[in-house]
Structure 1
Amino acid sequence: MFRLHLQNLVKRPCRLFSVEAFQNKGNIKVSDQVESPLTDLFGRHHSYLRISLTERCNLRCQYCMPEEGVKLSPHDKILTTDEIIHLAQLFVNEGVTKIRLTGGEPTVRRDLVSIIEKLKQIKGLETVAMTTNGLTLTRQLVDLQRAGLDILNISLDTLKSDKYEFITRRKGWGRAVMGIDLALQLGYNPVKVNCVVMKGFNEEEIVDFVKFTKDRNVDVRFIEYMPFTGNKWDFNKLLSYKEMVEKIKQEFPDFYPLDNGPNDTSKAWKVPTYQGQVGFITSMSEHFCGSCNRLRITADGNLKVCLFGNTEISLRDALRSGCSEDDLVALINAAVKRKKKQHAGMLNLSQMENRPMILIGG
């Protein structure tokens, strides 16, 4: 074992960065299993990095953004394109093979195509993915695909336009569906459709979403409703994975589970003969912390080692203060080694202070 004390974590040129994540924590104990700075104390190697490109969004989804909105970071606090690529290269050097671009809404960032092109030039990076609400894909997706975008997730919580306007506080259902259709036409295989399920809102549409996979090569991923600051999470609105499966089996008794990969967050299911499939992201009822291989960088440059963790460390400040590559790696290593075995559980999470989802990155 070796120790990294906060004051000695990085050399003098890097003393300006924020260390709120580790305040009042004492010394940082780091395992001597140094095969990778991205491997935590529980043996989880983090090969998947999610980078939020912006805090801005053209929707105002209720489960993502507080009703009163959010205070956005000043523009000069958001990572620049060069900083994003610099950090991406650093993480790939240490073993990241997949990067997902999120937001906010990543398509509102004007240099999105350039960011994808530059990411695709990083040797060792196998996959560049993006999560989007799909509203602008009909005019952007061809260029994004040419730039090298490999995987596409499109958020769609209802198949009814009036409900879409209610949950997002904006119009746009038709454009989102056209974005899905265009992605299919361009050969994305499959197109992943993210659907947050809530009792009293869209639970009766679950079967309709399953039918949506009949003639489309889509992977509809039902996401359990999760608590974040300002989204008024209520346990009574949570529809669990098992409840969803039971509802679907009432209509499709032959609905059956598929095999999953070791780091899959989505439990895959399928209706026989249907072209597409269905998945369930069970963060609340059956967490998958033991196989988590994901890290997150927020749009303002903070590293989050857990979606539900409220400790962060500013890579932006470290980078701008002149940290060397070795110092940055040491900082990341220390943060990863502090990752907990699992999150606190849904009821505890609902009481914890965390960023609104829009400020974390989907």
Structure 2
Amino acid sequence: MSKNKNILQDTFGRDHTYLRISLIECCNLRCTYCMPEEGVQLSPKSHIMTYEEIYDIAKIFVKHGVNKIRLTGGEPLVRKDFKVVLEKLATLPVELSITSNAVIIDRFIDVLKTNNVKNINVSLDSLNREKFKHITRRAEFDKVYNNILLLVKEGFNVKVNTVLINGFNDNEIIDFINFTKEHPISVRFIEFMPFDGNKWDMSKMVSYAEVMNYVENSFSKEDIIRLADAPNDTSKNYKIKGYKGSFAIISSVTNPFCDSCNRLRLTANGQLKNCLFSSTESDLLTLLRAGRPIEPAIEKAVKVKLKMRGGMDSLKKLEKPELHTKNRSMITIGG
């Protein structure tokens, strides 16, 4: 390991200050773009990080400059010791946030507040009850919708993540934007991305340009306000004049944000992924359990990070299934 050097800086000068930790590979929904129809091979329970191991690994990342941690899954709230994990991580000097499908989040309002979690991302891909059931394979729309409103009422900063799929929910783009008229939330339209088992192809994707075409055909030009993007932001942010909330587009495929990427991912079974699109992983958990230092492995993983999308630096490469089916299914990576 290099001395007196930032081990979280890659060869392109990107400092990685944001760690996303997946707590569990299980979920109480079965979203088609996230989990293959036939399911996934889950890691044995003994291979999943304990709350002590999550804390020990997180503490090392924080020591080297991480100042933001997001908890993901699967669905992180179905982990039985979620409260313990959160309480441990809350002792670190970081901003804690969570991504959830919100099916059971109403049970955790108090523990989230107690541990200073203010920012919550909720996955919701349709405002139509039947389409929600189709894409999630579960009839939980009312619970999720009402819990989004509850989170807003309780004072959380809520972002709604909507994966757009051509011919399925692209006709709801304006409905989602109008949802922000009376509710101070941010709806984020996410381009459909390729992962193992989700049957991705370019024809299913709704691009940044196509989203904006819907917007510009529905609202007057002077009412579409371009907002300032935060440093290292993955999204291009907008709002409609007079609306309480906002909307954004995450264009990972057609207009990626790799140049300013500051994110690393730790899977529930202790593997470090330096890019969501990368098929390579670094085993931190085995090293930790063997009592060996994990910093050299972290530094090596960061230093070999490629400039764009795990090496898929063109749309032509993305269209080759052999390049993205080697990656995990999304549910086992962490959102």
Q: TM-score surpassing 0.5?
A: yes
Q: Gapped runs of 5+ residues in structure 2?
A: none
SS at match of 2:211: helix
The aligned counterpart of 1:100 is 70
Q: Does 1:66 align with 2:36?
A: yes
Structure with max Cα Rg: 1
Counterparts of 1:64-143 in structure 2, within 5 Å, are 64-122=34-92, 124-125=93-94, 127-143=95-111
Report the CA distance between 1:150 and its aligned residue: 2.5
Number of residue-to-residue matches in the alignment = 326
Distance 2:200 2:246 in 1: 28
Residues in 1 aligned to 2:84 and 2:117: alpha-carbon distance in whole angstroms:
11
Contact 1:116/1:149 (<8 A) preserved: no
Structure 1 position 301 matched with structure 2 position 270: yes
- Confirm or deny that 1:282 pairs with 2:257: no
Identity across aligned pairs (percent)?
47
Q: 1:52 aligns with which of 7, 22, 29?
A: 22
Indicate the SS of the match to 2:249: strand
1:297, 1:96 → 2: CA distance? 13
Which residue is 1:148 aligned to? 116
Counterpart of 2:299 in 1: which secondary structure?
helix
CA distance in 1, matches of 2:113, 2:144: 17
Distance in 2, matches of 1:340 and 1:206, equals: 33
Give 1:337 shift. Answer: 0.4
Match of 1:342 in 2: 308
Q: Name stretches of at least 5 consecutive residues in structure 1 with no aligned partner.
A: 5-31
- 1:77-117: per-residue Cα shift (whole Å, max 9, x none)? 00000000001110000000000000011010011122111
1:142 CA displacement: 2.5
**Once the two structures are superposed, what CA deviation does each residue of 1:321-342 show, in whole Å capped at 9, x if it has no partner?**
111xxx3111101110000011
Match of 1:25 in 2: none
**Cα distance in structure 2, aligned partners of 1:51 and 1:210:** 29
Name the structure 2 match of 1:20: none
TM-score (norm 2): 0.95
| Corresponding residue for residue 145 of structure 2 | 177
Quote the RMSD (CA, aligned, Å): 1.3
Match of 2:291 in 1: 322
1:33, distance to aligned residue in structure 2 (A): 9.2
Q: CA deviation at 1:141?
A: 2.2
Q: Is the 8 A contact 1:40 1:337 kept in 2?
A: yes
Q: Hey, what's the Cα distance between the residues in 1 that align with 2:87 and 2:315?
A: 38
Once residues 134 and 360 of structure 1 are traced to their aligned partners in structure 2, the CA distance between those partners, rounded to angstroms, is: 19
Q: Which residue of 1 aligns with 2:334?
A: 361
